[in-house]
A and B are shown apart, each in its own frame.
Chain A
């Protein structure tokens, strides 16, 4: 108990999370008089999960896309196609961000890469500044639920370690995220149409501009079809799709468009692998700590304790929502997934919750946590990027927060929204 409190304190004071988890595992095994070499064996399991190959490959592809002019082209195309609608430009922003986040995995990259393009455009169209700030900050985590986002894959990886009766399939997660993700985009689009400044000129549907925009993006347009078609169609496995994506993006951005120079590649590789390394290190030591916790029956005992207070699935889901919202404010999505899912998953399954549905609920909540005041990460990234006080961002994001909170509640209490495309 004392050890647990000490570790918690260290974590709060900013000790690297991997050291906290590893410290806990080492202490646990030590007190059970198990040889600590077991930790090495657990970390080595990183080399025994084929799906993990997708993580470095997709991350590298995402960073590459971010370094090229692809985001600008994507905004242009979305504008040509959607700009004529009421609230068109805001919807362009939402769609572009959701799309970009799905491919880059929501690490704040979206706000940095797309914010600079969208913010001035929205301002020019006459949207109030506060609305723009709120929209961009909110969009920074939109799209987490769409394939092939990194958090979806990571949830699948962690859930597969939990040896459930029906193992979680990553393809199922990709299917389950579609409608909940669309719900978020549609609700936010509706709000943007409502808030559209009076007398705003919507651009006309211009076939010339559409043609030009499509021609400019001609090489990137096949990418989503290639990846999503391949995965959803069952032609290629997720990690294979990742390999195909990297090769495709390398050829397009380095050889055809020539926007990324070959000599810049080492730096892009290094920066993307720093993120991957930080995530995999936590995953590796968590395999050890999870193993210890399962040995010590922690999830089972926790379940019994909770069941004394919460007797049905719905009450549990309410408690889960509150807990995850708080968690999302202090932990980034990757560590939260790796650390908390192994504990929560068996409990949720005990309450009869579908593990795939739990994954979507978990991610939707964490997405909200990204901009929940006072400490949501994207609030600070946006504050830094647009040079605005954080306080202003709290106010700016508030309406968006309530809209997405509503979406999260729908996603939580209507499981069929996530599960409708899954087989029986």
Chain B
């Protein structure tokens, strides 16, 4: 059941990434064509494209966390013995989870303020909507790191050194 839910979430993330990237390509290209050939343009296309960059970035970051491909320094971890590596992974990933959770929490509060103030990002799109990817993204990243830590803890308690 849980596994199915996780799989659905993965599919949603992947599909969103594909949809957003392809719309970015299409919109950016049509804007160029309109501007150069017909001397017109849609004024809200540029801000929309910029928001899509933010969304691509955070969705990509979600998937990077899922595949454990976040950028990190691996000078030390490469030479650590397996047992120490598990411990260091537990500590560093807990840290990442906490930091992401803090950002998610404050971003969520920010979103609520924006909701009440009724600011718009562009055209009549409310700002809270374009910003909503920030709390969502960091919340999922925090959750992923928490799950990774849980898995590592179980592994450590079982005395399995990952070999």
Contacts of B95 in A (CB 8 A): 10, 15, 19, 23
Q: Which of the segments B1-9, B67-75, B155-163 contacts the partner chain?
A: B67-75
- Cβ–Cβ contact B50 & A53, under 8 A: yes
A46, B61: Cα distance in complex, Å = 13
* Bound-state Cα–Cα, A278 to B68, Å: 10
Q: Which partner residue on chain A sits nearest B14 by CB separation?
A: A270
Q: Are A10 and B21 in contact (CB under 8 A)?
A: no
User: Is the C-beta of B107 less than 8 angstroms from some C-beta in chain A?
Assistant: yes
Residues of A within 8 A of B74 (CB): 14
Q: Which of B90-136 contact A (CB under 8 A)?
A: 91-93, 95-96, 99-100, 102-103, 106-107, 109-110, 113, 130-131, 134-135
Quick check: is A395 within 8 A (CB to CB) of the other chain? no
CB atoms of B54 and A46 under 8 A apart:
yes
Interface SS of A by simple majority: helix
**Shortest CB distance A248–B (Å):** 10
List of A residues within 8 angstroms of B73 by Cβ = 11-12, 14, 17, 330-331
Chain B positions 16 through 29: 1 when the CB is less than 8 Å from some CB of chain A, otherwise 0: 01100110110011
- The answer to whether A277 and B57 touch across the interface, beta carbons within 8 angstroms, is yes
| B residues in contact with A273, CB < 8 Å | 17, 21, 56, 59-60, 63
Does A332 belong to the interface (CB within 8 Å)?
yes
Contacts A15-B72, A266-B18 hold; do A37 and B100 have CB atoms under 8 A apart? Answer: no
Q: Is the CB of B91 within 8 A of A279?
A: no
- Pick the residue among B14, B28, B69, B134 that contacts A44 (CB under 8 A): B134
A contact residues around B25 at 8 Å (CB): 57, 60, 243, 246-247, 250
* A423 sits at the interface (CB 8 A): no
Given contacts A40-B131, A53-B24, A282-B71, contact A26 B99 (CB under 8 A): yes
User: CB distance A274 to B69 under 8 Å?
Assistant: yes
* A39-B24 CB under 8 A given contacts A244-B29, A274-B67: no
Known: A41-B110, A47-B50. A15 touches B24 (CB 8 A): no
A14 contacts B32, CB within 8 Å? no
Total interface residues on A, CB under 8 Å, equals 65
Q: Does A254 contact B (CB under 8 A)?
A: no
Which residues of chain B come closer than 8 Å to A15, judged between CB atoms?
72, 91-93, 95-96
B153 contacts chain A at the CB level, 8 A cutoff: no
Cα of A13 to Cα of B94 in the assembled complex, Å: 13
Which residue on chain A has the smallest CB distance to residue B28? A243
Chain A CB within 8 A of B58 CB: yes
Contact call B106/A36, Cβ cutoff below 8 A: yes
Chain B 26-55 interface mask (CB, 8 Å, partner A; 1/0) = 001100100000000000001101110110
Question: Which A residues from 198 to 252 make CB contacts under 8 A with B?
Answer: 236, 239-240, 242-244, 246-247, 250
Contact A280 B76, CB 8 Å, known A14-B88, A19-B99, A332-B71: no
CA distance A81 to B75 in the complex (A): 41
**CB proximity of B96 to chain A, nearest CB, Å:** 4
In the bound complex, do residue B59 and residue A277 qualify as a contact, i.e. CB atoms below 8 Å apart?
A: yes
Residues of A within 8 A of B64 (CB): 274-275, 277-278, 281
Q: Is A343 an interface residue (CB 8 A)?
A: no
A28 to chain B, nearest CB (A): 13
Listed A/B pairs (12) with beta-carbon separation below 8 Å: A17-B72, A19-B100, A37-B107, A37-B113, A44-B54, A46-B54, A265-B18, A269-B17, A278-B61, A278-B71, A285-B103, A335-B71
User: Chain B interface (Cβ within 8 Å of chain A)?
Assistant: 14-15, 17-18, 21-22, 24-25, 28-29, 32, 46-47, 49-51, 53-54, 56-65, 67, 69-78, 88-89, 91-93, 95-96, 99-100, 102-103, 106-107, 109-110, 113, 130-131, 134-135
Q: A14-B76, A60-B21 are in contact. List 16 more A-B contacts (CB 8 A).
A: A10-B91, A13-B88, A14-B92, A15-B91, A37-B113, A40-B103, A46-B57, A47-B54, A47-B130, A57-B25, A236-B32, A240-B28, A266-B14, A279-B71, A280-B57, A281-B61
Using a CB–CB cutoff of 8 Å, the interface residues on chain A facing chain B are: 10-19, 22-23, 26, 35-37, 39-41, 43-44, 46-50, 52-53, 55-57, 60, 236, 239-240, 242-244, 246-247, 250, 265-266, 269-270, 273-285, 329-332, 334-335, 375
